[in-house]
Structure 1
Amino acid sequence: MQNIARLAKPLTAILLLPAIMACAPMSHRQQNTAVGAGVGAVAGSILTGGSTLGTLGGAAIGGVIGNGTDGRSRRR
């Protein structure tokens, strides 16, 4: 039962992210930032065993990484 409760937060975040993103038109960079923050929050939560600080830290780091990417592969 504890395993289900531990997975509930990250799964809820993953399921709600598309609904939140569909509410308002966003630029490509804003979408990348939101997705990065969501993925980072889930990863931080899983890696720290559900710690609030780990979840927030993961969201912050993921948001920064998502903001810095443009979603296009560089071709040389």
Structure 2
Amino acid sequence: MHIPHPLIRISGTALPVMASVAMAACSGMTRQEKNTAIGAGVGAIGGAILTGGSTTGTVGGAAVGGVIGHEVDKK
């Protein structure tokens, strides 16, 4: 029996859930708020992958991604 790597299992579950939440939540958001949310989501996934699924890496990635997303397209 083949057991998938935990990161693959996390990514396979997190991506569809995040996409659903993002589409529902972004309807009343400004462009900057959307960029912040998207950056945080991408950062969380990246942090989880880079640190082997650690909570600290996931939260840190979300924070860094959120800041970067917030600054994109800023006038």
TM band (smaller chain): 0.7 to 0.9
Structure 2, unaligned runs of 5 or more: none
Q: Which runs of 4+ in 1 moved over 3 A?
A: none
User: How far apart are residue 6 of structure 1 and its match?
Assistant: 2.3
In structure 2, distance between residues paired with 1:13 and 1:64: 21
- Who is 1:37 aligned against? 40
In structure 1, distance between residues paired with 2:21 and 2:14: 10
Structure 1 residues 27-66: aligned runs within 5 Å = 27-66=30-69
Structure 1, unaligned runs of 5 or more: 72-76
Name the structure where helix makes up a greater proportion of residues: 2
- What TM-score results when the alignment is normalised by the length of structure 2? 0.79
- What TM-score results when the alignment is normalised by the length of structure 1? 0.79
Identity in percent: 47
User: How far apart are residue 21 of structure 1 and its match?
Assistant: 2.1
Q: Deviations over 1:13-67 (max 9, x none)?
A: 2212221123242111111011101110111001001101000000000000000
- Who is 1:8 aligned against? 9
Shifted more, 13-22 versus 45-54: the winner is 13-22
Asked if the contact 1:37/1:59 (under 8 Å) is kept, the reply is yes
Shifted more, 46-55 versus 19-28: the winner is 19-28
How many residue pairs are counted as aligned between the two chains? 70
